[in-house]
Structure 1
Amino acid sequence: MNVDELNRLPVAWEPDPADFPGTPLGRMAARHGLTTFDEVAARAATDPEWFWAAAADDVGLRWLKPYDKVLDLSDGPQFPHFFKGGGLNWADYAIDRWIEQGREADEAIVWEGDDGSTRTVTYGELKEQIDLAAGAFVARGVGVGDVVALYLPMVPEAVVVMLAAAKIGAIVAPFFSGFGPTPVRERLLDSKAKLMVTADGFERRGKLVPIKETADEAAADAPDLRTVLVVRRLGRDLTLVDGRDEWWDEALAVAEPVTETPVFDAETPCILLYSSGSTGRPKGCLHTHSGLPFKFAQESRHGYGMQPGERLMWLTDMGWVMGAYVVSAVFGNGATAVLFEGTADFPTPDRLWSVVERHRVTVLGVAPTLIRILAGFGDQWPDAHELPDLRVIASTGEPWNVEPWWWCFRHVGKGRLPLVNMSGGTECGASIVSGSVHRPIKPAGFSGTTLGMAADIFDPAGRSLRGAVGELVVRGPWPGMTQGLWDGPERYLRTYWDRFPGNWLQGDFAYLDADGHWFLLGRSDDTIMLAGKRVGPAEIESLLVDDPDVVEAAAVGVPDTAKGEALVCFVVLMDGADPQEALPRLEASIVAREGKATRPKAVHAVAGLPKTRNGKVLRRVARAVYIGADPGDVTALESPEPLADFPRQEGAAPAP
């Protein structure tokens, strides 16, 4: 959408101010003499150290050793020291404290598999499994600072692995369950993981995913990997590698549980999350016990009221940052995680709505692309489900188009639920801008900056910008930001800090309207320069998906000898749509609204777009394949299938 259209967007949902005092944030505010969300936001902006201390206390970080100082900037904003001198343990404040409060029998995890099978794990059972797994890791030589690779589908054991590693001071490195052997091998080599936990296989859309065979191929070239523990997900008859492989259940059966809680410095690493970049080398982002797990727990608590009794489900994979988000948000607030191993539209287009209704989900997390796909099946599927327990719809991953946003709001949220959008990233360990159940919400927008985040918009010279589109930045540090990248500080500083010294560069185009609502318009490195004008791909894509024949779209800029750069669009059409009729109409609609200078060089109908399992469209991959260039790191793709028959411009080299 262009700026004029953003300025005309109405408020779609407003909170009842009378609800605020009864929310977790409202109760925290009252303890500090504050009465409204705006008062909390104002104080957080002027006194961030007060806010982070108050938020840590409200979330319930259990300091096993009190901290000396909330924030130490002696090494600069790029390397802040939060809660300096403090000692704690993520596994302790995520699980152990709830057990001590007598919640052993409360549901910690409700799981549903692709095949419809279900499991429930109580807090007491989860703690027992974590302590045993921690003991099994120690018995196999894993200690403080060692890396445990997590290569599992969305099963309860993934939560166990993550928190068991944290309990003993190890670092968990989650890998996407859909990876092939090459990206798994790359991450094993880069992280020098000593131990990996995988499964004998799992099902996706009713078909076997032989994840163990993939793990075997990847592990063959990983000299640091000593042990592979295999979860019996399907009960397949597999031959284990002698001297390396063991069954997970058998290892835990003989393990000596770790019952004592080690105390770690607040800055001790606990998670290594890999983020795919535009180059061929993924970035390993290092997060700490008092960082990402606390920040995600705080955001979910203060943004949409996560607390005991809530049931959060996010359609994601444990290998993405939102997998860590689920573990952090749920167990940092004593809630229940609803883990779904399957896909949203299998075996029927209402599978997701059925899962949400059946398991009484109160907070559902989705990606805009997922909603665009599900909307293509028709209104009748969500309309058939009342979803009486659902209280909040959350979203992240990419900018929204307005029409799919309205569809989700009306048909999933029934026109009554807040659709809380947030945006941050793997490196941030946080959101930067977000919606909130405490503030009005506009379609496709963000109600403001996330509490405690000093977000701003810069022009190319690094000056604060209003009334126009610019670069999203953060003016100060926050808990949750990566401690740097696994391969050292140079790329970290170059990527996030060098362009605007002292300010974090997020890499997104942002706009702030007169009412204080924020909008993101796509990645700044996806920007298309047409006739000297910067065009965000989301503007073009919003126009395309407004057409009734278009399910989803991607717009990219490609080199052009005459213009410097030209626009190329890829669209997935509805079943039954005639490409010969639809494509010229789409081209004409772009010209009619954006002008002749924006006329696409081509509009192609494709069977699918390259995207992650979270639903984020990887425009850079589409562009690279189209022009015959190296697509860089493609390990984040849910499936390489869309690339097999992807269109290529004349003279382009075959896809590498």
Structure 2
Amino acid sequence: MSENFEVKVDSKSYIPDPAYREQSFLGDYKAVYKEFIQDPDEFWSRMAKEIEWIKPWTKVLEWNHPYARWFTGGTLNITTSCLDRHVKEGRRNKLALIWRGEDGEERVYTYRQLHRDVMRFANALKKIGVQKGDRICFYMPLVPEHIIALLACARIGAIHSIVYAGFGAEALHSRIRDAEAKVVITADVGKRRGKVISLRSIVDDAVRNAPSVEKVIVLCREKCSVELYSEMEEDFYSLLEGVSADCSPEEMDAEEPLFILYTSGTTGMPKGIVHSCGGYATGVHYTAKYLFDLKENDVIWCTADTGWITGHSYIVYGPLSVGATVVITETTPDWPDPGIWWSIIEELGVTLFYTAPTAIRMFMRVGEEWPNKYNLDSLRIIGSVGEPLNPEAFEWYYRVIGKMRCPILDTWWQTETGMHMITTPLGEPMKPGFAGVPIPGIIADVVDEEGNSLPPGQGGLLVIKKPWPSMMRTVYRNDERYKKYWNQIKDYYAAGDLAVKDEDGYFMILGRADDIIIVAGHNLGTAEVESALVEHEAVAEAAVIGVPDEIKGQAVKAFVILVKGYTPSQKLVSELTYHVRMSIGPIAMPAAIEFVDTLPRTRSGKIMRRILKAKEMNMDLGDTSTLEE
């Protein structure tokens, strides 16, 4: 960044019912944060003791920049925290999973059933030669067998690498090859918006020229159109025939890898983020219990897919570690109509709903009448993950879905961080546009390029100053890429995001640092301009990029999706340009506005501005494997 930039900070806030704080597991945020600062090792030791260990650790943290070793000498298996202990401690017959298919089919699993099925599939994997340390690639729809199989991998110490089942064969192939996967687990089909999508044919293409692959396990959901023909192929349920439902958990060192998850960089091959057993298990248990405040009778629905870190942490490992009931579904938010998600919340009594700002803005666009048809009184807490939750979406979500009653947990974190890092703890004032404060265990700041802390109201780079247990350990087979995170700014973790703090220490995330537009020497965060556009009643969503300008160096170009009922016109272009001028200033006025029906985005909902920019300038699109469309 050539200079820092001032950000207009709105101080509006909402205070939740004090009962939320009084009854929460976390309690008084400020007091707990102070305890953490006074003795970080004691804080993390206390959190780690809440999960199951086979052998206790001898040291909480060994930090040798940029490498961390957490819970040195400790051994565990994450599945005993997620399954065995609940079966032993009174949750044997409690619902662990409720699955809803697109056609209304429903299946439920108690902790006892899930435990037994995981152990059976773990033995089935052993039967075909899977050993500790082998990489297993998943390309599956969001069905119960997916959760069972990935927990089975963890049970025997195999490293899972989940690839979202919407990627094409090339993206899947590159991840299989990079991870050197021994086994691929898939299904014959996925189901989306009433269509049946062949997954097996994509896997057939992806495993060509992938010499590491020895077996492909296929879950047949339809009648498989042809018999499993390849010598490599095994039927998911046939593999389970005659297999014991008793499988002892593999003893894993705290620092051994649990999984690899690929995430797009701004350029080049996706990065294989490696997470370890002990630190990750501690981080997701802590955040699921103390930030989501999951209670015994809670039903959590995180609408992500397991192909993303959100699904790993807050569909599978976090909620199951706490012993919650988890809802999973293949349904999309607007099919067969935009009421489907609200009907599921009403019918299944969902108490904690965690979704993406993209979905919230889509619901805003179709109107309040859809959620208003359903009884959402079961909701206790609502959350947001992905892009920054702009103030307009916050207000709508709080009023229409939360009924001015449910606190919003707007969470900032990354694939690389493994767990929540910044949010507004229950009971603290909520500020639209601000994710919140660093959670106990995390020291965050906004700094300049040299790592100097910036004052409130001044935008800069978001950093995490100290290591935390669920941090990634490396980039698979590319340690240099890992080191860059810790070597760019002092000895801090550089998140790659821009942020600003207010006087109370609340963080507003402004977007990616590489999404900065420098207009006549002034730095503009794309999120700030987009938020100004979305404030206009005609705008449902907006994305802005910098385009070359002979005089200013760069100018702002906006891509705008209109709310139903509005039509593109020159008058509207003038209105929106003026609106941005009045909201931010003349420097932020778009030089051009293009009305569009869709925006390119990743599966996790983040708008890929570099795609817009590449198309605008007739450039190569680079790695587009994580695009939704």
What range is the shorter-chain TM-score in? over 0.9
Q: Percent identity?
A: 34
Offset from partner CA, 1:401-422 (integer Å, 9 cap, x none): 1111100000000011001111
Equivalent-residue separation in structure 1 for 2:611 and 2:243 (angstroms): 45
Report deviation, 1:258: 4.8
Corresponding residue to 2:230 among 242, 245, 248: 242
Corresponding residue to 1:485 among 475, 478, 499: 475
The aligned runs of 1:52-63 (5 Å cut-off) are: 52-57=44-49, 60-63=50-53
Equivalent-residue separation in structure 2 for 1:282 and 1:370 (angstroms): 25
Aligned pair in 2 of structure 1 residues 428, 19: CA closer, same or farther (>3 Å)? closer
Report deviation, 1:568: 0.9
Mind listing any 5+ residue stretches in structure 1 that lack a counterpart? 27-35, 640-656
Equivalent-residue separation in structure 2 for 1:415 and 1:505 (angstroms): 35
CA RMSD of aligned residues (A): 1.6
2:14 is matched by which residue type in structure 1?
A
Q: Contact 1:396–1:422 (CA<8 Å) still a contact in 2? A: yes
Aligned partner of 1:304 in structure 2 is 292
Corresponding residue to 2:327 among 329, 338, 342: 338
The aligned runs of 1:60-209 (5 Å cut-off) are: 60-73=50-63, 75-76=64-65, 78-209=66-197
1:311 is matched by which residue type in structure 2?
V
Task: Give the secondary structure class of the aligned counterpart of 1:456.
Answer: strand
1:53 is matched by which residue type in structure 2?
S
Equivalent-residue separation in structure 2 for 1:520 and 1:366 (angstroms): 17
Q: Contact 1:134–1:258 (CA<8 Å) still a contact in 2? A: no
Offset from partner CA, 1:524-581 (integer Å, 9 cap, x none): 1101101111111111111111222221110111233332212111011233422124
Equivalent-residue separation in structure 1 for 2:467 and 2:87 (angstroms): 33
Q: Contact 1:306–1:329 (CA<8 Å) still a contact in 2? A: no
Offset from partner CA, 1:335-364 (integer Å, 9 cap, x none): 011001110111111111111111111111
Q: TM-score, normalised by structure 2?
A: 0.96
Report deviation, 1:228: 1.0
Q: Contact 1:183–1:635 (CA<8 Å) still a contact in 2? A: yes
Offset from partner CA, 1:467-506 (integer Å, 9 cap, x none): 2111110111001111110022111112x11211311000
Task: Give the secondary structure class of the aligned counterpart of 1:291.
Answer: helix
Equivalent-residue separation in structure 2 for 1:504 and 1:4 (angstroms): 23
Aligned partner of 1:518 in structure 2 is 507
Aligned partner of 1:542 in structure 2 is 531
Equivalent-residue separation in structure 1 for 2:584 and 2:226 (angstroms): 58
Aligned partner of 2:308 in structure 1 is 320
* Residues matched between the structures, number: 622
Corresponding residue to 1:41 among 24, 33, 43: 33
Equivalent-residue separation in structure 2 for 1:21 and 1:88 (angstroms): 33
Report deviation, 1:390: 0.9
1:394 aligns with 2:394: no
Offset from partner CA, 1:427-453 (integer Å, 9 cap, x none): 111222112113221112133102100
Equivalent-residue separation in structure 1 for 2:296 and 2:236 (angstroms): 30
Corresponding residue to 1:410 among 381, 399, 414: 399
Q: TM-score, normalised by structure 1?
A: 0.92
Q: Contact 1:294–1:328 (CA<8 Å) still a contact in 2? A: no
Aligned pair in 2 of structure 1 residues 235, 342: CA closer, same or farther (>3 Å)? farther
Task: Give the secondary structure class of the aligned counterpart of 1:80.
Answer: strand
Equivalent-residue separation in structure 2 for 1:550 and 1:242 (angstroms): 52
2:605 is matched by which residue type in structure 1?
G
1:628 aligns with 2:618: yes
Aligned pair in 2 of structure 1 residues 22, 586: CA closer, same or farther (>3 Å)? closer
Equivalent-residue separation in structure 2 for 1:558 and 1:45 (angstroms): 44
Bigger Cα displacement from structure 2, 156-165 vs 432-441: 432-441
1:357 aligns with 2:349: no
Offset from partner CA, 1:249-287 (integer Å, 9 cap, x none): 111123344522221111111111111111121000001
Aligned partner of 2:413 in structure 1 is 424
Bigger Cα displacement from structure 2, 376-385 vs 524-533: 376-385
Q: Contact 2:51–2:281 (CA<8 Å) still a contact in 1? A: no
Aligned partner of 2:26 in structure 1 is 25
Q: Contact 2:561–2:596 (CA<8 Å) still a contact in 1? A: yes
Equivalent-residue separation in structure 1 for 2:312 and 2:25 (angstroms): 22
Q: Contact 1:527–1:534 (CA<8 Å) still a contact in 2? A: yes
Corresponding residue to 1:606 among 578, 596, 614: 596
2:550 is matched by which residue type in structure 1?
T
Bigger Cα displacement from structure 2, 38-47 vs 267-276: 38-47
1:634 is matched by which residue type in structure 2?
T
